[in-house]
Amino acid sequence: MKIALLLYPMNDLGGIINHAEDLAWGFKELGHQIDLYFLYWKKSIKETTDDEVVLDALIKQGLWSKGAFGVVNQQSGWKLKQEQKLNYFGEENIKRTIDKLQQYNLLIWETSVPSASGDNKGNHDWVKLYQSGVPNIGFIHDGNFKDGYPWLYAVMNQFHGLACVHDCAYNSAESIAIPRALILNPQNLDKYSCGLPYEKREKGFLSLQTFKKWKHVDDIVRAIPYMKPTTKKYLAGGGIEYRYMTSKDKIKEEYIARALEDPDLPQDIARQRKPIWDRALEHGMVWLGYITNEKRDDRLRKLRVLVDPSWSNKYAAIGGHYNRTVVDAILNNTIPVATSLGMLGIKGVSSIFKPDINFISLKANLTPKQYAQVIEYACNLNSKERNKIIESNKILLKMFDRKLIAQQIINLSRGKPTGLLGKIEKGTTTAKIKSDSNKAMVGFFGEPIKKNIRNKWGINNNENLC
């Protein structure tokens, strides 16, 4: 089977990079061909080709690595070749791109629709890309569908299915009438490593992610001064909130150490208005920047704990919203510490993970000192506690096998019951999804409201756009 993996450009690809890489390898290991394409709403694309010597030098420096689609790194994504860039501005380019897509048996949309970024203002060409006649499968990676991209409704009838990577994504997609399955993030189980025995590992943690607001990296940064000096404290990654935390002149007020957020904060520190990042560095935090998967795994095999500080009240109201890094920890026999809101949602129930069996839970509204105490506890588990988690997670891993996930995507495209739940469900499109989609299609992606434009988007002339 020939498969095309499609993405629209976006800032901070984050976990989508590893998701796309492992998914691609899963298909390749099943014997399928898979190609990556980025879709640009441009009349033309400036030709840029990186010299192989330059790419080899980047790899040797440890900044980039060889991936399923060429050279890749965790900050920028892929060094795309010219043939991996498709433009679709105007009828001629749309036809050329669709002709390319029609060479495939299956189209997988890592980003199901374009974002409402300024670059897409007036972009009403994207809806035609789904009309190639080739089955379309989209991914839902978060719980943000209803508010973030309800215009999926505009191409709803062109999708054969939605692959939802966790409970939050799955539950959010019940508000649109597209067949969906709970299909987890793909992982390379061949990379499983026992690592060092727990008792011989460093007492400490690694926390890595794209620093977005809902990742709450500041929670762990605030807690670091309350950990033992001997505890190893590593952070990796980067992003917008990292820049706000470390900026010399644009630091956010909330990232200044204040008694308001920290009841145990010494008064002299509060008076100094010291940035929480600087204070954490003074107490032994080591920031690694963006690191390769190999460096991540090497460090996890020597540490006792991984910390995922992320949570979102919005996402938690919909369902559990685990991150790939938790499974990365499990693959290296490292104990995951994660927030209950993030892993289980408000209802405290997950189709995948159980607290104190698969991970150690960080409860809501902990003070920085209490937060630190949970991490210290995880770094000092007795043999019974750690073995229970490690052995339970070994059983859990088989659900994430990238070959299994790739086959589940194929099954979804063929309408076969599949995924973690062993079924395909179809939601009901809500009136709000329709209304929000129509507003976006006319007001943002479309042209001024005219009868012909309303008909183009499938909007009845008497339909209320307000």
- In one letter, which amino acid is 261? E
Residue 302: other Cβ atoms inside 10 A: 16
Q: Which helix H or strand E contains 170, and what residues bound it?
A: helix 167-172
Longest dimension (CA), the chain: 71
pLDDT band at 462 (very low <50, low <70, confident <90, very high): very low
Residue 101: other Cβ atoms inside 10 A: 20
Q: Which helix H or strand E contains 307, and what residues bound it?
A: strand 303-308
- Sheet hosting strand 33-40, strand order edge to edge: 85-87, 33-40, 2-7, 106-109, 136-140, 159-164, 179-182, 425-426
Most confident residue range from 266-280, 415-429, 439-453: 415-429
Q: Is the pLDDT assigned to residue 422 strictly greater than 60?
A: yes
Nearest to 289 by CA among 77, 78, 74: 74
pLDDT tens across 160-196, in order?
999 999 999 999 999 999 999 999 999 999 999 999 9
Inter-CA distances, 295 with 62, 74, 208, 305, Å: 9, 12, 12, 15
* For residues 343-355, average pLDDT: 95
- Strands (E) across 326-408 are located at 335-339, 360-362
Distance CA 168, CA 182 (A): 10
Q: What are phi and psi of 235, to 5 degrees?
A: -120, 145
Length of the chain: 466
What is the 3-class SS of 101-169, one letter each residue? Answer: HCCCCEEEECCCCCCCCHHHCCCCCHHHHHCCCCCEEEEECCCCHHHHCHHHHHHHHHEEEEEECCHHH
pLDDT band at 65 (very low <50, low <70, confident <90, very high): confident
**CATH placement of domain 194-400:** 3.40.50.2000
pLDDT tens across 30-63, in order?
999 999 999 999 999 887 766 677 777 777 777 7
Q: Is the pLDDT assigned to residue 451 strictly greater than 50?
A: no
pLDDT tens across 272-296, in order?
899 999 999 999 999 999 988 899 9
Whether the domain at 2-186+404-456 and the domain at 194-400 fall into the same CATH topology: yes
Q: Domain spanning 2-186+404-456: which CATH class is it, in words? A: alpha beta
Indicate the SS3 state at residue 12: coil
Q: What are phi and psi of 242, to 5 degrees?
A: -60, -45
- Domain coordinates of the chain in residue numbers? 2-186+404-456, 194-400
| pLDDT of amino acid 40 | 95
- Strands (E) across 351-464 are located at 360-362, 425-426
Q: Is the pLDDT assigned to residue 86 strictly greater than 90?
A: yes
Distance CA 163, CA 211 (A): 25
Long-range Cβ contact pairs of 250-254 (< 8 A, separation 24 or more): 251/275, 254/218
Question: What is the value of pTM for the model shown?
Answer: 0.89
pLDDT tens across 193-230, in order?
999 999 999 999 999 998 999 999 999 999 999 999 99
Q: Is the pLDDT assigned to residue 453 strictly greater than 50?
A: no
Nearest to 298 by CA among 250, 261, 334: 334
| pLDDT of amino acid 61 | 74
Mean pLDDT across the chain: 91
Q: Is the pLDDT assigned to residue 463 strictly greater than 80?
A: no
